[in-house]
């Protein structure tokens, strides 16, 4: 019995993700809905490898070659869900983005009541790289809680805590100040599990009433205003993510010819 040869190319869902059309999971859902065609034929299974010679279309529109990886910082306001579609018809991040942005994906999520820095990218590979647990980039938050909390309670978070069978890694927590009936903390995590900060705070007896992400790895919210989007410089994206820059075309400089010198050598002609 001989092994079947490995199909050439990449899985269709990976190609669509790389082109910034959708995440792999979303691409598989789109395939199931009959929205993807390859070489003019609608496909019904993601178990398909394609090459650069295949023509892919989504909703009848041709998918071109992947764009250069790009990233943006977005100051998400509270009240938006980080999804493209919401079954409860709540306002979404993607509907609120400026019209001049290309199709983008979010790096992770912020829940509807959270605000602050949300990274966006047009490249599925960049999204996956930033979301991998092995990346372990620190995410820093400003947290406002109702009431106050003791250092002994915060030590539980610093040591790592288990809530309803879910283990959370040790966190860096600083008590900043008391402000009337509320207190402000600065908290840093590396995992970013679903509603992690709200759940651990509830476990030590306090409720979060405001949650602002101020940094994600080396990327800082800074003074970016709510609702604003700022594209990162390509050099920053390359340096931080280790992405190779596309080769720049080689430009030939024309030789400088000074009066009384030849064009070929730049030296004075022999008389």
Write the DSSP string, 160-206. -EEETTEEE---EEEEEEEETTEEEEEEEESS--TTHHHHHHHHTT-
* Integer CA distances (angstroms), 200 to 21, 28, 80, 146, 221, in order: 35, 34, 23, 14, 24
The closest alpha carbon to 125, from 193, 23, 217, 218, belongs to 23
φ/ψ bin of 204: left (φ > 0), alpha (ψ from -120 to 50), beta (otherwise): alpha
Buried b (16+ CB within 10 A) or exposed e, 12-28: bbbbbbbbbbbbbebbb
Question: Which among 111, 176, 228, 239 is annotated as catalytic?
Answer: 111
Q: Is 111 a known active-site residue? A: yes
Buried b (16+ CB within 10 A) or exposed e, 134-158: eeebebbbbbbbeeebeeeebebbe
Q: How many CB atoms lie within 10 A of CB 169?
A: 13
CA–CA gap between residue 114 and residue 112 (Å, rounded): 6
Please answer whether residues 87 and 79 qualify as being in contact, where contact means their C-beta atoms are separated by less than 8 angstroms.
Answer: no
* 191 contact partners, CB below 8 Å, separation of at least 6: 133, 168, 169
What is the set of active-site residues? 111
């Amino acid at each position: 019995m001989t092994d079947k040869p490995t199909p050439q190319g990449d899985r269709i869902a990976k190609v669509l993700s790389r082109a910034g059309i959708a995440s792999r999971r979303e691409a598989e859902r789109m395939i199931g809905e009959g929205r993807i065609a390859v070489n003019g034929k609608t496909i019904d299974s993601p178990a398909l490898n394609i090459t650069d010679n295949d023509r892919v279309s989504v909703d009848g529109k041709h998918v071109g070659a992947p764009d250069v990886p790009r990233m943006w910082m977005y100051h998400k306001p509270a009240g938006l869900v980080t999804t493209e579609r919401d079954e409860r018809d709540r306002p979404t991040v993607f509907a609120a983005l400026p019209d001049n942005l290309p199709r983008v994906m979010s790096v992770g999520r912020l829940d509807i009541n959270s605000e602050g820095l949300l990274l966006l990218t047009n490249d599925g590979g960049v999204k996956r790289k930033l979301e991998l647990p092995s990346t372990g980039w620190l995410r820093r938050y400003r947290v406002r809680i109702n009431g106050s909390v003791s250092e002994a309670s915060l030590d539980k978070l610093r040591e790592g805590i288990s809530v309803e069978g879910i283990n959370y890694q040790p966190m860096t927590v600083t008590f900043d100040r008391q402000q009337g009936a509320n207190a402000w903390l600065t908290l840093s995590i590396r995992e970013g599990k679903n509603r992690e900060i709200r759940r651990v705070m509830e476990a030590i007896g306090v409720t979060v009433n405001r949650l602002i992400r101020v940094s994600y790895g080396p990327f800082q919210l800074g003074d970016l205003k709510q609702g604003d989007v700022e594209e990162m410089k390509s050099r920053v994206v390359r340096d931080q993510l280790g992405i190779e820059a596309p080769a720049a075309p080689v430009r030939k400089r024309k030789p400088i010819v000074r009066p009384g010198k030849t064009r070929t050598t730049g030296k004075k002609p022999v008389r």
